[in-house]
Amino acid sequence: MNQQVNNINQPVLPRRSRRLATLIPASHWISLGYSEDDAYMMEDLQNDMKKYCDNSGVEIDLVHYGNFGNDVPFSHHDLMIPHWQKLFKTLNGRTSVQCFDIGGIYMPISVLDIMFPALQSMNLDCLYLCTMGLESDGFQLLSSFIKHNSSVTRLVLEGNKFDDVSTAATFSDAVKDHPNLEMLSFYNCSLSSNIDFLRKILEGCKRKSRLGLVISLDSFGSEAVSVVADYISSNHLLRSINLSDNNIKDSGAAQLATALKNNTNMHGLHLYDNDITEDMESCLRKVLFDPTSIDSIVQSNHRSRVYT
Amino acid sequence: MFSLIIDLGYTHNHDDDDSNIAHRPPLEKEVLRINKEDYSIGQKIRKKVVLALCGPNRELFDLAFLNGMPLELMPRMLELIQEYGRTRTEAFRCMMPDGREDEVLEAIDRYIGPWPSSKQLEKEALSRLYHTLRGWELPSLFVNLNTPPANVTTEKRKRRKTCRY
């Protein structure tokens, strides 16, 4: 079930199902060619959607359906459209929800078209959109959502990848102007696959308010490290940056150490699971505390914490 | 899966989570603690100087660097050196925000090892003071000591005549 849109064996939807979004059992999905696991997953998804339609709570949690290990979202089937419609119609205006967490399910533009207006009406604090296979159209809708939203403080875009630089630029503009965003995560988003994606995103992070930025599980080359080091060095109002698991080597860490010397705003630099030797870790620590002389102590960084 | 990723800190930044640095060397933990605290930059520098003077590695405890220091600053420096015992106690008190010292000490004993008694801390502090004074250019404390102050008259005082019976 790795293809994103499954149009094979597209059945004619029973009128009752279209109207009431009644539960489509696993057996039906199996008859459509789904594996047993996937069929039960579809049933679970519908049950969870129904649960959130029936009960109000502070959190909507629709994850665990996709195959995270392969970064491939679970495929969409048009049979699910009435369920999505019902869910987002019900959620529309439900301001009690603070956190919307969806992951591992591919959403075509037809579903995103109804999702974002509903999210806009919900006064959300946290929005997690993980491994949804967002494409240019999806990112455009997300950018528009962010541009017109002021309530979201945490936005996680795990596993979604930009297709083109203009989309990254649009998203970047939206982020730059957002008044309350405190945390933005690009975990496994391959920003460094095109250095211009990274440049554009960091451009958007030159904000007037503090931001915690996560760019992790990426494969940073030397150019990507230089771009991030320049950004850190320019001392913008960045609260922290998480660069874990990015294949950063000693040479890159040295650049980051130099950049950190010039930064008086950042509270945290996270460098877990990179290829940094102990000697270089010592150099990074020396940026925070260089006891060679009193002058070197004075010139150390007194705000940041480096995690290796 | 997602919650697992969150726990690992890959999608989030745990700015206030000290669990990730629990295994780091004491000096590093102390530096991170100083940088995290809401002190002024001046206070942070002061604490780092104290750490360099008295911390585990005593990088600045080579007292030669004190030689060029103006005499007037020396009392301040001695004060800094004495401050370390208090800093150490403060550092561990932070583990229990409501200041339950007995529990703090018990926890330290259990997880880190015996915490020095107040007498021992005092002894260490006095020892540092002694070494600092000894290592410092002590003669500068007594410069011009043999030369009388300018306002003291050098004239011999006349002996008061007294009747001796």
pLDDT digits (tens, 9 = 90+) for B74-92: 787 777 777 766 666 555 5
Mean pLDDT across A265-271 = 93
pLDDT of residue A2: 43
Task: Supply the pLDDT for residue B71.
Answer: 76
* A267 and A240 Cβ atoms separated by less than 8 Å: yes
**Domain for residue A29, yes or no?**
no
Contacts of residue B12, Cβ cutoff 8 Å, sequence gap at least 6: A156, A183, A185, A212, A214, A242, B6
| Integer CA distances (angstroms), A188 to A70, A152, B5, in order | 11, 21, 11
* CB within 8 Å of chain B, chain A residues 110-149: 128, 130
B11 with A297: Cβ contact below 8 A: no
Is the residue at A8 inside a domain?
no
Asked whether residue A246 carries a pLDDT value surpassing 80, the answer given is yes
- pLDDT, tens only, A143-180: 999 999 999 999 999 999 999 999 999 999 999 989 99
CB contacts of B10 in chain A (<8 Å) are 187, 214, 216-217, 242, 244-245
The answer to whether B35 contacts A301, with C-beta atoms less than 8 Å apart, is: yes
Do A183 and B36 count as a contact with CB atoms less than 8 A apart? no
Question: What pLDDT is attached to residue A294?
Answer: 80
Is A20 inside a domain boundary? no
User: What CATH number has the domain bearing residue A127?
Assistant: 3.80.10.10
Spatial distance between the Cα atoms of A228 and A280, rounded to a whole number of angstroms: 18
Q: Quickly state the pLDDT bin for A141 (edges 50, 70, 90).
A: very high
Q: Considering chain A, what percentage of its residues have pLDDT values greater than 70?
A: 91
Please determine, for the modelled complex, whether the ipTM score is greater than 0.85.
no
Range A38-46 contact pairs with CB under 8 angstroms and sequence separation of 24 or more: A38/A1, A38/A74, A41/A65, A41/A74, A42/A77, A42/A80, A45/A80, A45/A83, A45/A105, A46/A80, A46/A83
pLDDT at A255 over 50: yes
CA A229 to chain CA mean position, Å: 22
Sort out which chain B residues have CB atoms less than 8 A from A278's CB and list them. Answer: none
Task: Work out the minimum CA distance from A9 to partner chain B, whole angstroms.
Answer: 31
Q: In whole angstroms, what is the distance from residue A19 CA to residue A162 CA?
A: 35
- Owning domain of residue A152: 57-307
* Model pLDDT for residues A209-218, shown as the tens digit of each residue: 889 999 999 9
Q: Mind telling me how many Å the CA of B111 is from chain A's nearest CA?
A: 22
What is the tally of structural domains in chain A? Answer: 1
pLDDT given at position B120: 72
Question: Is there a domain that residue A4 lies in?
Answer: no
Interface residue B33 vs chain A (CB under 8 A) = no
Q: Return all residues near B70 (Cβ < 8 A) that are at least 6 apart.
A: none
- In the DSSP assignment, the letter for residue B19 is G
Band (B139; pLDDT cuts 50, 70, 90): low
**Is residue A268 in a domain?**
yes
Task: State the pLDDT at residue A27.
Answer: 93
Looking at the predicted structure, is the pLDDT value of residue B57 above 90? no
Whether A252 shows a pLDDT value over 80: the answer reads yes
Question: Nearest by CB to A291, which of B13, B20, B60?
Answer: B60
Residues 167-186 (A) with a CB less than 8 A from some CB of B: 183, 185
